[in-house]
Homo-oligomer: A and B are copies of this chain.
């Protein structure tokens, strides 16, 4: 394991303080926690939005803090859901009285810990609600699908709605609509190494790739022979298209898992766009880059979000988040 770190057990603390030091005008770290909060939170009358999860997905989640997106991000240990007490601190820090929406990715750990935090908040009389993101079509049953890159769009839509002054119910509805209309599929060329584990999570030969990978260094649904960008783009996009009727307008995200050069993501995008064009699907906006990563894993995911007029308008609202400016 070769990493630019100090103590493998301190990477999250070190990262969070390095992040707070880098962006003093945008972010503040809640004392004694690994919770990052928008500098001027809570915003009077605005619904607060809390996201988070294991670390190692940077720029998720703190990179999405900013006007027009989320208000706080809770950083768990690497690939490990954060604990209820920390999530609860985040909720308290962003609640202005207008209530707080939790954006949760559909992993047992995330759901359990956020649920417990919601119970704690409830007990203190804070209005909290939640959405659970489950965009990963690699998993067959909808109920056990993971939340991956599509989460970024949920942040965007909920954030825009909250910024517009939406109530907790309205913000939740916008987030929920996004969840209903977003699908993703990923693949990897190489594993990644959790610092405290010290060794990669799985092995891949030079001519192998993993299809249907999540974002936690776990191996995928299927191991295949390595192929071209065109074939990979086709496999991922087809799987997404087969799961949901995307006719009409869509937003596209070609997401890098960490060490995939932007060059390769754009090469994938070229094919994704041509597949969508062939099917007569209109691309409203495209995002290419590292939005939801797995440490230094090489690979990518393709996300489609079907847009109606409301979602289009929410997507167009400005965002000042560090990792998502629009």
Question: A residues within 8 Å of B by Cβ?
Answer: 2-6, 11, 14-19, 21-23, 55-56, 58-59, 63, 189-190, 206, 209, 226, 228-230, 232, 252, 254, 258-270, 273, 286-288, 290, 293, 295-296, 298-300, 325
Contacts and interface: CB of A to CB of B under 8 A. Distances in A.
A2 B203 CA distance: 14
7 contacts: A2-B226, A4-B264, A4-B267, A14-B270, A18-B270, A19-B269, A325-B325
A6 B261 contact: no
A273 to B, nearest CB: 4
A293 B22 CA distance: 20
B267 A21 contact: no
Contacts of A58: 261-263, 266
Nearest to A287: B22
Contacts of A269: 18-19, 21-22
A230 B286 contact: no
A55 B261 CA distance: 11
Given A21-B269, A22-B286, A189-B4, A229 B263 contact: no
A292 to B, nearest CB: 12
B23 A259 contact: no
Contacts of A55: 263
A236 to B, nearest CB: 11
B4 A268 contact: yes
Given A5-B228, A206-B2, A261 B56 contact: yes
A56 B262 CA distance: 8
A11 B298 contact: no
Nearest to A208: B2
B286 A23 contact: yes
A50 to B, nearest CB: 20
A229 B298 contact: no
Nearest to A286: B22
A226 B22 CA distance: 25
A59 B290 CA distance: 11
A261 B295 contact: yes
B229 A14 contact: yes
A288 B5 contact: no
Nearest to A267: B14
Given A5-B229, A11-B267, A290-B290, A261 B296 contact: yes
Nearest to A230: B6
Nearest to A59: B262
A2 B63 CA distance: 29
A116 to B, nearest CB: 26
A262 to B, nearest CB: 4
A52 to B, nearest CB: 15
B262 A259 contact: no
A4 B255 CA distance: 13
Contact of A2 (B4, B11, B298): B298
A261 B258 contact: yes
